């Protein structure tokens, strides 16, 4: 199994969720996060004083999927979250050793 | 004059609203989230202390008779000797004292012990504000700024704004910078509060300026003249207050757009206050064109001035100097140019063919206010610095004034921790502790 983690623009979250649901992903964990990439943050001005805001708000989506689905899920996220402008985010895939459903104790694929 | 009495009741309530809650919100939004309650409390406590002191000795020091700097402080203690029907005039003046003191707190946000502020308030009110109010507002022949110098100040350019602005400057210097400033410039935590506060200040300011009508000797002797002065002067001050504020919003935003590329909401809120500050001394003295000019100049000037603190290394946290001192001086001095003889002061300024007499009087009035407020505030600020001490310790300041000074926090945004979790759930988590102990 793989953990797909995507950090995307907040306004793209609904599109990504719909596309993944259509594909058949059954669950995910979503959190509001902040961070920055190559472009750094942005500048705000208060009474003429400029503030460099390093952290930009993003949505982090975490999905555990079967090995065979990982590439498809990454593809869907990239396709739906892409605007072509700077700050679109990142997706990465990591190995998962075990998954357990808390309610039943089911393990791995049947726990997804 | 039933209508006038009703009008004064409303005007007085409006001016009190300017401090609680308008100024408190205006300042609170600009402070950091960890010290917003402390910022608001500095206004609330000013209302409580100054209000009581005002009926104790303030009214007497200001209005019980002659005196260059102040009148007899003990003549009308606790308003003994004042008719209850005159209480409304006492209350009206009291609200001015309250907001003047509260204005100062913006310069010392986030870092001052609440006890030090509580100690500062009564001494400053008695030694600085009450005398200044006498010098400017009670206007006996002896009173320094109005009587002897002959400077015009309709509703408090010198007594309120220059006075508070100078005190703010002195306190910011004596107390010093916040931990981390200016590297961390400390941006406002909630500009919606600030916008709301600015809007409420604008509303309350009608009580401030329009309520400041003083009837002439001739008017008091003749009912017809009295009504005529009431109608014409309130119409003028209302219009001037409104139009100067509108011009100041534009003045601030134009400067901001040119210098920094964007017209901001904080700029609009600040423009409102800058315009109101500047038109306050001039509200009765100028015509519509004068009001528009004063507003636009003050808005632009204050927008430039608020940047000076970074150049000077002065942590005037919420720009009391940039807005109230600069705006107050602008409005007071510009009377010397734009005053018209059909206004409340009956004097033509330089641009209306009146020569330089008015301008000289206005500048002298400013200098006296700056010197008086500056010197006495400095003595008082240093006395507190070397006795009780002004500053919270560094840990408390970094942790936030709300928790350190009041044992509270303004916002609870984390429902998982300390927010939406029921106490029984937390109790359950605690009772699980023995199991963890058993495992070891």
Please name the residues between 73 and 112 in chain A that touch chain B, using a CB distance below 8 Å: none
The CATH number given to B2-212+231-385 is 1.10.3430.10
* Residue from B27, B32, B182, B187 whose CB has the most chain A CBs within 10 Å, to mutate: B187
In the predicted structure, residue A48 carries a pLDDT above the cut 90: no
Q: Assess A45–B contact: CB distance below 8 Å, yes or no.
A: yes
Whether omega for the bond prior to residue B248 falls within 30 degrees of 0, making it cis, is: no
DSSP states of B41-79: HHHHHHHHHHHHHIIIIIHHHHHSS--SS---TTTTGGG
User: Cα separations (Å) of B435 from A102, B422, B431, B432, B438?
Assistant: 20, 22, 9, 6, 5
Taking an 8 Å Cβ-Cβ cutoff, which residues of chain B contact chain A?
185, 187-188, 256, 259-262, 264, 266-267, 270, 303, 306-307, 310, 319, 322
pLDDT of residue A53: 84
Under an 8 A CB cutoff, do A47 and B185 touch? no
In this complex, how many residue pairs, one in chain A and one in chain B, have their CB atoms less than 8 Å apart? Answer: 33
Q: Which residue is closest to B30 within chain A, CA to CA?
A: A46
Eight-state DSSP code of residue B12 = H
Q: Give the predicted TM-score (pTM) of the model.
A: 0.86
State whether B260 and A51 contact (CB < 8 Å): no
Q: Provide the 3-class DSSP secondary structure of residue B435.
A: helix
Put simply, whether A46 touches B (Cβ < 8 Å) is yes
User: What is the rounded end-to-end Cα distance, in angstroms, of chain A?
Assistant: 10
Cβ burial, residue A82 (10 Å; 0-12/13-18/19+): middle
Collapsing DSSP to helix, strand or coil, B142 comes out as coil
pLDDT at A40: 83
Q: Between A54 and B121, whose confidence is greater?
A: B121
Instruction: Report how many helices (DSSP H) and strands (DSSP E) chain B contains, helices first.
Output: 21, 0
Q: How many CA atoms lie within 13 A of B14 on its CB side?
A: 20
> Do B306 and A44 lie within an 8 Å CB cutoff?
no
Q: What is the DSSP string of A63-81?
A: EEE-GGGHHHHHHHHHHHH
Chain A residue with CA closest to B263: the answer is A45
- Name which of B31, B32, B185 to mutate to probe chain A: the one with the most chain A Cβ atoms within 10 A of its Cβ: B185
Count CB atoms within 10 A of the CB of residue B72: 14
CA B180, B182, B188 angle in degrees (round to 5)?
85
Band (pLDDT 50/70/90 cuts) for residue A111 is: confident
Return the SS3 of B295: helix
A43 lies within 8 A of chain B by CB:
no
Whether this model's ipTM surpasses 0.90 comes out as: no
The answer to whether the beta carbons of residues B254 and B224 sit under 8 Å apart is no
Q: In this structure, which long-range contacts are made by residues B202-205, counting pairs with CB atoms below 8 Å and at least 24 apart in sequence?
A: B202/B245, B202/B272, B202/B276, B203/B14, B203/B17, B203/B22, B204/B14, B204/B15, B204/B17, B204/B18, B204/B22, B205/B14, B205/B18, B205/B241, B205/B245, B205/B276, B205/B280
pLDDT value of position B415: 57
Q: Which residue has the higher pLDDT, A54 or A101?
A: A101
Beta bridge partner(s), residue A5? A62, A92
Distances (CA, A) of B253 to B40, B280, B334: 27, 21, 21
The C-alpha of A37 sits at a distance from chain B's nearest C-alpha, in angstroms, of: 22
Locate the domains of chain B by residue range.
2-212+231-385
Nearest CA in chain A to B310: A49
Nearest residue on chain A to B258, judged by CA atoms?
Answer: A48
Residue A44 touches partner B, C-beta closer than 8 Å: yes
C-beta atoms surrounding B243 within 10 Å: 20
A27 touches chain B (CB under 8 A): no
Q: Quick check: B267 and B252 in contact, CB under 8 A?
A: yes
Which residues of chain B, if any, have pLDDT below 70?
1, 414-440
């Amino acid at each position: 199994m793989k953990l797909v983690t995507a950090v995307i623009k907040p306004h793209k979250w609904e599109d990504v969720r719909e596309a993944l649901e259509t594909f058949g992903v059954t669950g995910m964990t979503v959190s509001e996060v902040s961070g920055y990439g190559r472009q750094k943050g942005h500048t705000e001005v208060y009474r003429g004083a400029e503030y460099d805001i390093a952290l930009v708000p993003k949505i982090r989506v975490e999905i555990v999927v079967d090995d065979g689905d990982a590439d498809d899920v990454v593809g869907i996220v990239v396709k739906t979250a892409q605007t072509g402008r700077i700050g679109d985010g990142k997706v990465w895939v990591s190995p998962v050793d075990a998954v357990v459903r808390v309610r039943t104790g089911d393990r791995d694929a049947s726990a997804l | 004059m039933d209508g006038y009495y009703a009008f004064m009741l409303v005007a007085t309530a409006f001016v009190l609203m300017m401090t609680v809650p308008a100024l408190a919100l205006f300042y609170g939004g600009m402070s950091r989230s960890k010290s917003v309650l402390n910022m608001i409390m500095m206004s609330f406590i000013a209302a409580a202390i100054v209000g009581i002191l005002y009926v104790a000795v303030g009214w007497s020091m200001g209005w019980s008779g002659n005196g260059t700097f102040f009148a007899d402080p003990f003549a009308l203690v606790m308003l003994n000797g004042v008719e209850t029907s005159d209480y409304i005039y006492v209350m009206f003046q009291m609200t001015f004292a309250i907001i003047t003191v509260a204005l100062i707190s913006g310069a010392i946000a986030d870092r001052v012990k609440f006890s030090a502020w509580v100690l500062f308030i009564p001494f400053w009110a008695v030694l600085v504000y009450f005398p200044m109010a006498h010098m400017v507002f009670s206007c006996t022949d002896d009173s320094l700024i109005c009587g002897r110098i002959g400077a015009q100040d309709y509703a408090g350019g010198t007594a309120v704004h220059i006075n508070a602005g100078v005190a703010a400057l002195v306190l910011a210097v004596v107390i010093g910078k916040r931990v981390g400033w200016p590297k961390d410039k400390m941006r406002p935590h909630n500009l919606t509060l600030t916008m709301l506060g600015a809007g409420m200040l604008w509303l309350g300011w009608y009580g401030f300026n329009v309520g400041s009508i003083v009837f002439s000797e001739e008017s008091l002797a003749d009912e017809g003249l009295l009504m005529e002065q009431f109608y014409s002067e309130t119409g003028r001050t209302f219009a001037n207050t409104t139009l100067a504020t509108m011009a100041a919003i534009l003045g601030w935003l134009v400067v901001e757009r040119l210098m920094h590329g964007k017209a901001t909401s904080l700029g609009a809120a600040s423009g409102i206050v800058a315009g109101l500050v500047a038109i306050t001394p001039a509200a009765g003295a100028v015509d519509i064109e004068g009001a528009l000019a004063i507003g636009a100049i003050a808005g632009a000037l204050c927008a430039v001035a608020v940047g000076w603190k970074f150049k000077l290394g002065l942590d005037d946290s919420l720009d009391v100097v940039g807005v109230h001192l600069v705006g107050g001086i602008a409005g007071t001095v510009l009377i010397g140019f734009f005053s018209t003889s059909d206004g409340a002061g009956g004097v033509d300024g330089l641009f209306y063919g009146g020569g330089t007499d008015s301008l000289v009087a206005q500048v002298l009035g400013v200098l006296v206010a700056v010197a008086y407020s500056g010197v006495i505030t400095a003595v008082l600020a240093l006395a507190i610095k070397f006795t009780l001490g002004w500053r919270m310790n560094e840990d408390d300041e970094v942790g936030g004034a709300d928790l350190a000074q009041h044992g509270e926090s303004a916002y609870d945004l984390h429902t998982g921790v300390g927010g939406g979790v029921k106490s029984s759930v937390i109790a359950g988590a605690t009772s699980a502790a023995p199991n963890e102990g058993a495992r070891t």
